Structure 1
Amino acid sequence: MDKLRSLTLFLATCEEQSFAAAARVCNTDPSTISKAVSRLEAELGVTLFQRSTRQLKITAAGRHYAHTVRSSIQALSSCEDELRQLNDAPRGRLKVNSAVCYGHLYLRPLLKAFCQRYPEITLELSLDDMHVDIIEQDIDVALRTGFIKDSRLVARCLSPMDFLVCASPDYLEQHGTPDSRGDFDSHAWIGFKIKETQQLQPIFLPDEQGNYQLCDLHRTHITDDGEAMAQLCADGLGFAQLPHFLAKAGLETGALVSLYPAFRAPLPEGGVFAIYPKREYLPARVRVFLDFLVAALAVQQETPTHTWAEHWPARIRFDGSAEQGRTVAL
């Protein structure tokens, strides 16, 4: 058995944590997998897996070896892709991971057109709000709000992340529009809990000059799902601070009203990013996906420095004009 084949079977065993499961993935039999791993262990003089009748557990040496093998095979695959792309159209499996809300609201509606344009690309889409190691899971592109500080990765900004303080028209009609910062203490507020950290997303409200300041407000209701937060707001359960991609549909249909002009939270990682492994050659399937995504977002008035939310009309403005004939000081 050639060395590359043995290494491929070894990686499959690492991922599946079972000779039998790895055999199914590689379309072979468990004894072939076991012999390949044993041959590697004999060559290296180390134990890659601790074996028992009930489980297979990778050793520290096995993890270290797997990291190097995976990087080497990915580099080889990238080189092969480069050579194929000299004459070939973009093709092959494109594995994309996205934050759940952004994936549902922004990415998914674009995928039909992408797949029609590139029929030789097989799309594999997963949605997850938790941290995902895109190298370990062999993901081509991940779409995230905020980027991961990892020297192995490239983070390409797709758009800023603009926030809007929203409520439903029915809620404002029933409870009134706040006239001051203190008024918010008597209003219902829908808070967002970040799944990965279990912390509440901070709330920012403007002062009389329109400068947004961090505010400590009681959350009447809390959810860890962005779409649920936007819907609860549209249902009239209270105010919510929504990122532009969550607020867009409700604002366009009139189910939501933006109380103030959009703002960008003072966070160094405030934006929507396409994250992908750093490599000398970017596979054509990844390159055309990124180019398609950037062009499609531009049609929706979103660029790396701008979103449509910057120009969305607000109920209250800070230039002396307001829908209801007043400028509110908070």
Structure 2
Amino acid sequence: MDKLRSLEIFIATCDGGSFAAAARLCGSDPSTVSKAIGRLEAQLGLTLFQRSTRQLRITSAGERYAGTVRKMMRELSGCEEELKQINRSPSGTLRINSAVCYGHLYLRPLLRAFCLRYPDIRLELEINDLHVDIIDNDIDVALRTGYVKDSRLVARRLSPMDFLVCASPRYLEEFGTPRRREDFHSHAWIGFRIKETQQLQPIFLPDESGEYLPYDLERRYLTDDGEAMAYMCADGLGFAQLPHFLAKEGLDSGALVSLYPYFRPPDPGSGVFAIYPKRDFLPAKVRVFIDFLNDALAARGESANHTWAENWAPLVPRV
């Protein structure tokens, strides 16, 4: 029996928890599975499973070996898929996981054009703000605002995340326009509560020199939904500091105005990222999706280091 087949049986045994279950997964029989595992252990000089009459338990050496084997098999599968797709159109199921607001406002309007261009790609779209394990959940690409460093993943920045202090024209007509950040104490503010941590998103306002610094303000209204925050702001409930992708629709329509020039967090981990598993051969379906997304963002003035917010004329150009 060749080594690759032995490794496939080994992984099936890990997943199934018994020789009988592995035999069903591999279309074989328990005796063949047991012999294959025995030969593999003899080659390695290691015990991969502890056997008893009641159960089969993987050893610590077996767990370490399984991790390496799984990685190798993923890379092999990715290489084979890449080579198969060199001379044909991208195809297969593309599983995308996106942050809620970005998915609704930026991604969803692009999907029809993408599907028309690549009819052999089937989309599975998940919209949530949970930081799911991309590899364990078989996600091809995730769109996230920020990322957690993980050596198994590639995080490719699509754009910075620029923030704008926004209000509705109706609110400003009724309550006036603040000129200094101290003036905001007499105005209503809409705050954002981060679901996973339950912490409030900090507010950054420019000081007399124009430098943005965190500023402590009472939030009269709170929400954990970004779109709701933008709509509450457009409805005239008060001020909100909105990411550029949340502010764009309201600013374009005139439902919102931006008070100051944009604020960009200095943290290099801040921004909008396409995150996908690290591999030698990026599947064609993932590559064309990211290229398509970059082209669509470029059409609206966004790239890895720029957004349209840089050129947006604020109501109060200088503090």
Counterpart residue type for residue 75 of structure 1: E
Q: 1:96 deviation in Å?
A: 1.2
Match of 1:91 in 2: 91
For 1:228 and 1:193, how far apart are their aligned partners in 2?
12
Aligned to 1:205: 205
**Relative to structure 1, is the Cα distance of residues 171 and 67 closer, same or farther in structure 2, using a 3 angstrom cutoff?**
farther
Residue 161 of structure 1 is matched in structure 2 by 161
CA 209–223 in structure 1, closer or farther in 2 if over 3 Å, else same: same
The C-alpha deviation readout for 1:168-210, integer Å capped at 9, x for no partner, is: 1111111111132221111111111122222211111112332
Deviation per residue, 1:284-323 (Å, 9 max, x gap) = 11111111110011011111111111111211111xxxxx
Structure 1 Cα separation of the partners of residues 94 and 50 of structure 2: 30
TM-score (norm 1): 0.81
Q: Is the 8 A contact 1:7 1:69 kept in 2?
A: no
Tell me the SS of whatever aligns to 2:134: coil
CA distance in 2, matches of 1:59, 1:222: 50
> Matches of residues 158-197 of structure 1 in structure 2 within 5 Å?
158-197=158-197
Matches within 5 A, 1:4-15: 6=9, 9=12
The answer to whether 1:290 aligns with 2:301 is: no
Name the aligned partner's letter for residue 203 of structure 1: I
Q: Equivalent residue for 1:114?
A: 114
Residues 159 and 188 of structure 1: CA distance in aligned 2, closer, same or farther (over 3 Å): same
| Residue 242 (str. 1) matches residue 216 (str. 2) | no
The answer on 1:301 being equivalent to 2:282 is no
Residue identity (%): 62
5+ residue gaps, structure 1: 15-21, 319-328
TM-score by length of 2: 0.84
Structure 1 residue 124, shift from structure 2 partner? 1.4
Residues 196/237 of structure 1: CA separation in 2 closer, same or farther (3 Å cut): same
Q: Distance in 1 between matches of 2:255 and 2:59?
A: 55
Distance 1:200 1:34 in 2: 57
**Matched pairs, number:** 308
Opposite residue 121 of structure 2, the aligned amino acid is I
Q: 1:216 deviation in Å?
A: 0.8
Q: Report the Cα offset of residue 107 of structure 1.
A: 0.8
Which amino acid in the other structure matches residue 208 of structure 1?
A: E
Give the letter aligned to residue 128 of structure 1.
N
Contact 2:180–2:207, Cα closer than 8 Å, also in 1: no
Question: RMSD in angstroms over aligned alpha carbons?
Answer: 3.4
**Counterpart in 1 of 2:220?**
220
Residues 200 and 59 of structure 1: CA distance in aligned 2, closer, same or farther (over 3 Å): farther
SS at match of 1:252: helix
The alignment partner of 1:263 has SS state of coil
3-state SS in 2 of match to 1:251: helix
CA distance in 2: counterparts of 1:140 and 1:178, whole angstroms:
46
Residues of 2 paired with 1:135 and 1:317: CA distance?
45
Kindly indicate whether the alpha-carbon contact (under 8 Å) linking 1:9 and 1:33 is maintained by their aligned counterparts in 2: no
Seen in structure 2, the aligned counterparts of structure 1 residues 81 and 237 have a Cα distance that, compared at 3 Å, is same
Query: 1:87-143, CA deviations, whole angstroms, 9 ceiling, x for partnerless residues?
Result: 222111211111111111111111111111111111111122121211222211111
Letter in 1 for 2:92: G
Which segments of 5 or more consecutive residues in structure 2 lack a partner in the other structure? 42-46
Identify if the C-alpha distance between structure 1 residues 179 and 268 changes in structure 2 by more than 3 Å, giving closer, same or farther.
Answer: same
**Distance (Å, rounded) in 2 between the aligned partners of 1:303 and 1:76:** 33
Alignment partners' CA distance in 2, 1:49 and 1:165: 64
**2-structure distance, mates of 1:251, 1:105:** 14
CA contact (8 A) 1:145 1:273 kept: yes
Are the structure 2 counterparts of residues 284 and 217 from structure 1 closer, same or farther at C-alpha, using a change threshold of 3 Å?
Answer: same
Structure 1 distance, partners of 2:300, 2:306, is 11
Separation in 2 of the partners of 1:124 and 1:292? 17
